[in-house]
Homo-oligomer: A and B are copies of this chain.
Amino acid sequence: MLNADQWFTEVDDANASAFGLKGRRVHAEQTPFQHIEIYETERWGNLMVIDGCTMVSTRDNFFYHEMMSHPVLATHPAPKRVLIIGGGDCGTLREVLRHPTVESATQIDIDERVTRLSEQYFPELCSANDDPRATIAFDDGIAYIRDAAPGSLDVIIVDSTDPVGPAEGLFNVAFYQNCRRALADDGLFIQQSESPLLHGPIFKAMADAMRDAGFASTTPLFFPQPIYPSGWWSATIAAGHPVLPAPRPEACKPFAETLQYYSAETHQAALAVPPLVKRLLSSG
Q: Select which of B19, B269, B274 is within 8 A of A272 by beta carbon.
A: B269
CB of A206, distance to nearest CB on chain B (Å): 19
Chain B residues near A268 (CB-CB < 8 A): 268-269, 272
Chain B residues near A256 (CB-CB < 8 A): 275
Q: Select which of B17, B260, B265, B274 is within 8 A of A44 by beta carbon.
A: B17
CB of A23 within 8 A of chain B?
yes
User: Do A60 and B197 form a contact, CB below 8 Å, given A1-B4, A224-B230?
Assistant: yes
CB of A138 within 8 A of chain B?
no
CB of A263 within 8 A of chain B?
yes
Query: Which of under 10, 10 to 19, 20 to 34, or 35 or more describes the interface residues of A?
Result: 35 or more
CB of A175 within 8 A of chain B?
no
Chain B residues near A272 (CB-CB < 8 A): 263, 265-266, 268-269
Chain B residues near A260 (CB-CB < 8 A): 274-276
Report the separation of the CA atoms of residues A11 and B262 in the bound assembly, to the nearest whole angstrom. Answer: 29
CB of A217 within 8 A of chain B?
no
**Closest residue on chain B to residue A62 by CB atoms:** B276
Contact B20 A17 (CB under 8 A): yes
Contact B22 A20 (CB under 8 A): no
CB of A250 within 8 A of chain B?
no
Q: Select which of B16, B18, B261 is within 8 A of A275 by beta carbon.
A: B261
Contact B19 A17 (CB under 8 A): yes
CB of A226 within 8 A of chain B?
yes
Chain B residues near A275 (CB-CB < 8 A): 256, 259-263
**Closest residue on chain B to residue A258 by CB atoms:** B275
- What 1/0 flags go to A1-33 for Cβ under 8 Å of B? 111100101010011111111110000000000
Chain B residues near A226 (CB-CB < 8 A): 17, 197-198, 230-232
Report the separation of the CA atoms of residues A198 and B262 in the bound assembly, to the nearest whole angstrom. Answer: 18
Report the separation of the CA atoms of residues A15 and B57 in the bound assembly, to the nearest whole angstrom. Answer: 13
In chain A, positions 243-284 with a C-beta closer than 8 Å to chain B are: 256, 259-263, 265-266, 268-276
Chain B residues near A259 (CB-CB < 8 A): 275
Complex A-B: 23 CB contacts under 8 Å: A1-B2, A1-B3, A7-B18, A9-B20, A11-B20, A15-B43, A16-B21, A16-B22, A16-B41, A16-B43, A17-B20, A19-B19, A197-B224, A197-B226, A224-B231, A224-B232, A225-B231, A230-B231, A232-B232, A256-B275, A261-B275, A262-B275, A265-B273
Q: A9-B18, A197-B224, A265-B272 are in contact. List 16 more A-B contacts (CB 8 A).
A: A1-B2, A1-B3, A2-B2, A2-B18, A15-B44, A16-B44, A17-B19, A18-B20, A224-B231, A232-B232, A256-B275, A263-B272, A263-B274, A265-B271, A268-B272, A269-B270
